[in-house]
């Protein structure tokens, strides 16, 4: 999920009651909710290096636990030297670690729900886990968080204006609980719609071929509309799905042909860059363009494609010479489609 959602979720966890367990709980929650994304430093090594490392060790069970322990230790070491608080809970090491662990764990859980996924068992296994029900930015989850967190503050301001202000901490707590329950409700609705979409897709035949693999991926705002990918023996199909209407219209499908085997494609898939990309991609489509000086080989992950967009997302481009030597490589998160 996005940084704003992670941060607001940390604040909501604090307002829901965790901030009363130990001093510096809110600090632990806000930073801890974003701590696994410290792997962004891998971007300094280039976008391909980021693709290799992102949501790896820092998003694994052992990784986020270690990060939580380190963050709790740093806060505790600082807290012991800080002046005693005039009011509020005292510094508690056990609660501090638990709160940091909950914050980082919620980050992993939220990232698990979207199509990008996480590698929970890293470094023992590079397998990706993804529920595919939430977009990277979910407007409904953000709406619940904003209402739940800002609503009580706004209500307090209005009460002060009319001269009826009273300090009732239960209002903020109830607002935070409302926000967290709202997120869970969004997950539930999207999960049911996702299961229905997969059922609708698996029940069809595609140009006389049964699906070998299917995937349905969430759209930004409508939890009932899905961008689906269907893989058969010969084709890929990009399929828009509306689970409310129950419609999968064949006239809206976009058919993509699989690349024919060739020496250039074989050489490209054996490069380190292609191995990194193919380890990440779930629906890799390849394209080979011959040029005057060699070949341009393109790989993209159809998980991030849709019928309504011509942009290519998550794309690896390899330039090979005539003797199939790698000359140049480039990974892009988005780009224009190549000329055929």
- The model's confidence at residue 124, banded by pLDDT at 50, 70 and 90, is very high
Per-residue pLDDT tens over the stretch 32-44: 999 999 999 999 9
Whether the predicted pLDDT of 165 surpasses 60: no
Least confident segment among 96-105, 167-176, 213-222: 167-176
Q: Please state whether the predicted TM-score (pTM) of the whole model is above 0.85.
A: yes
Mean pLDDT of all residues in 184-196: 97
Whether the predicted pLDDT of 164 surpasses 70: no
Q: Of the candidates 260, 229, 275, 276, which has an alpha carbon nearest to the alpha carbon of residue 49?
A: 276
Q: Of the candidates 332, 334, 283, 340, which has an alpha carbon nearest to the alpha carbon of residue 312?
A: 334
Round to whole Å and give the CA distance between 116 and 291.
33
Least confident segment among 41-55, 142-156, 188-202, 214-228: 142-156
Per-residue pLDDT tens over the stretch 237-277: 999 999 998 778 878 899 999 999 999 999 999 999 999 99
- The model's confidence at residue 82, banded by pLDDT at 50, 70 and 90, is confident
Q: Which residues of 3-33 are buried (b: 16+ CB within 10 A; e: fewer)?
A: eebbbbbbbbbbbbebbebbbbbbbbbbbbb
Whether the predicted pLDDT of 162 surpasses 70: no
Round to whole Å and give the CA distance between 265 and 131.
31
Query: Which pLDDT does position 166 carry in this prediction?
Result: 59
Round to whole Å and give the CA distance between 115 and 311.
18
Round to whole Å and give the CA distance between 155 and 314.
44
Q: What percent of the chain has pLDDT over 70?
A: 96
Residue with more model confidence, 220 or 247: 220
Mean pLDDT of all residues in 51-70: 96
């Amino acid at each position: 999920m996005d940084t704003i959602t992670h941060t607001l979720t940390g604040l909501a966890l604090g307002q829901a009651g965790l901030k009363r367990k130990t001093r510096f709980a809110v600090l632990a929650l806000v930073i801890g909710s974003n701590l696994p994304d410290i792997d962004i430093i891998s971007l300094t090594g280039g976008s391909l290096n980021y693709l290799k490392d992102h949501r790896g060790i820092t998003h694994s069970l052992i990784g986020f636990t270690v990060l939580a322990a380190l963050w709790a230790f740093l806060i505790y070491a600082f807290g012991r030297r800080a002046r005693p608080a005039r009011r509020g809970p005292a510094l508690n090491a056990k609660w501090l670690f638990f709160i940091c662990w909950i914050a980082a764990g919620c980050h992993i859980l939220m990232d698990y729900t979207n199509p990008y996924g996480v590698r929970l068992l890293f470094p023992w296994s590079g397998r990706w886990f993804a529920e595919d029900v939430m977009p990277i930015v979910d407007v409904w989850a953000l709406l619940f968080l904003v209402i739940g967190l800002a609503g009580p503050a706004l209500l307090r301001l209005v009460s002060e204006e009319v001269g009826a202000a009273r300090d009732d901490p239960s209002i903020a707590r109830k607002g935070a609980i409302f926000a967290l329950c709202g997120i869970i409700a969004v997950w539930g609705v999207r999960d049911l719609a996702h299961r229905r979409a997969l059922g609708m897709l698996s029940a069809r035949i595609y140009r006389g071929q049964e699906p070998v693999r299917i995937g349905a991926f969430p759209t930004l705002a409508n939890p009932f509309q899905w961008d689906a990918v269907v893989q058969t023996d010969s084709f890929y199909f990009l399929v828009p799905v509306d689970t409310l209407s129950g419609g999968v219209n064949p006239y809206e499908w976009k058919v993509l042909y699989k690349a024919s085997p060739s020496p250039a494609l074989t050489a490209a898939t054996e490069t380190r860059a292609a191995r990194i990309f193919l380890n990440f991609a779930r629906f890799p489509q390849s394209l080979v363009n011959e040029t005057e000086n060699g070949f341009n080989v393109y790989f993209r992950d159809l998980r991030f494609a849709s019928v309504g967009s011509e942009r290519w997302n998550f794309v690896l481009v390899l330039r090979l010479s005539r003797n199939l030597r790698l000359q140049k490589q480039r990974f892009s998160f988005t780009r224009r489609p190549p000329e055929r």
